Structure formats: C-alpha cells, structure tokens
C-alpha cells in the first residue's frame, strides 16, 4: 500500500498571505499631452569607440574621444555644449555634425571627435550624448554610458 501525504492547509496560508500582501508596482501615468507609444525598441549606439583621455594638469582635465563612421572623409563634429550637473550626476553632451565643403567621394570613414569635459568631482555619472546633422533641428539621443570618477 502506497502512502500519499496530503498538504496541510495551514502551512499554505502564510504563502498565500505573503503573495497577496506583496505590492504590485503601479504603472506610471502617461505624460500629459502625449500619445501612448505603439512600438518600443532599443536604439543602436552611434559611437563605435569611446575612450577617456586624461590631461596631466592639476586638477586633471578629461576629454571624451569618440569614434564613429561618417559618410565621407572630411566630416567633423562641432561641440555645441557640455553640461555637467554634479547634483544629479549627469553629463550631457550636444554635438552637431558638420559636412565637408565641396564634393567628396562617398567613402564611409571612421572619424574621431574629441569632446573636452574638463574637471569632474568624484562620483558616478550618467553620460548622454545627443547629436544632429542639421543645425536647425533638435538634437536626438545618440549614445549613453556610465562614467566613474575617482
């Protein structure tokens, strides 16, 4: 004869009460005046390589060296602004791509851009890079990373 043990109901009661008591995080409200998104996707990062260059000064000054492919040789990048907000630990960089003057052969070329960020206080920063090709348009998100300063 086989013996099967039945679950004891009073042992399940704490599990059920914990499951019912666990709060479900609320869905954040939609921003006012916006339409709900119909699709969501992860954007690719525009920069293939990001390095930090340290100047030997007191205090040290830092430069972000960014590399990305451009449509033709001669493209440059103008730094519109670099904003460092130590209270929110955020560095926001805004860049405008500048096309070469005249006609050039279309050869996709990796191009390096240097963005001086200067001195920063110790801490961890969220770095966001925004770019645009047309100076008359808004900057759009291009790259994000976390920078640790010690």
What is the SS3 assignment for 99-147?
Answer: CCCCCCCCCCEEEEEEEEEECCCCEEEEEEEEEECCCCCCCEEEEEEEE
pLDDT in tens, 70-116: 988 889 999 999 999 989 999 999 999 999 988 888 888 899 999 99
Rounded to an integer, the average pLDDT of 33-37 is: 76
Cα separation, 66 vs 114, in Å, equals 6
Instruction: Determine the Cα–Cα distance for residues 100 and 70; give it in Å rounded to an integer.
Output: 11
Looking at residue 5, what is its pLDDT? 56
Report the sign of the C-alpha dihedral through residues 56, 59, 61, 62, in that order. Answer: positive
For residue 6, is pLDDT > 90? no
Residue 9 — pLDDT band, cuts 50, 70, 90? low
């Amino acid at each position: 004869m086989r013996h099967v043990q039945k679950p004891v109901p009073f042992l399940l009661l704490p599990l059920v009460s914990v499951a019912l008591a666990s709060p479900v995080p609320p869905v954040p409200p939609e921003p006012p005046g916006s339409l709900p998104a119909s699709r969501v996707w992860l954007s690719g990062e525009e920069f293939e390589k990001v390095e930090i260059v340290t100047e030997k000064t007191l205090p040290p000054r830092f430069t972000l060296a960014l590399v990305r492919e451009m449509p033709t040789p001669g493209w440059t990048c103008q730094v519109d602004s670099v904003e460092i907000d130590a209270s929110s630990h955020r560095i926001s960089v805004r860049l405008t791509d500048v096309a070469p003057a005249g006609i050039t052969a279309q050869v996709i070329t990796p191009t390096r851009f240097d963005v001086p960020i200067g001195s920063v206080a110790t801490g961890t920063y969220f770095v966001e890079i925004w770019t645009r090709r047309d100076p008359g348009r808004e900057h759009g998100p291009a790259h994000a990373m976390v920078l640790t300063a010690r």
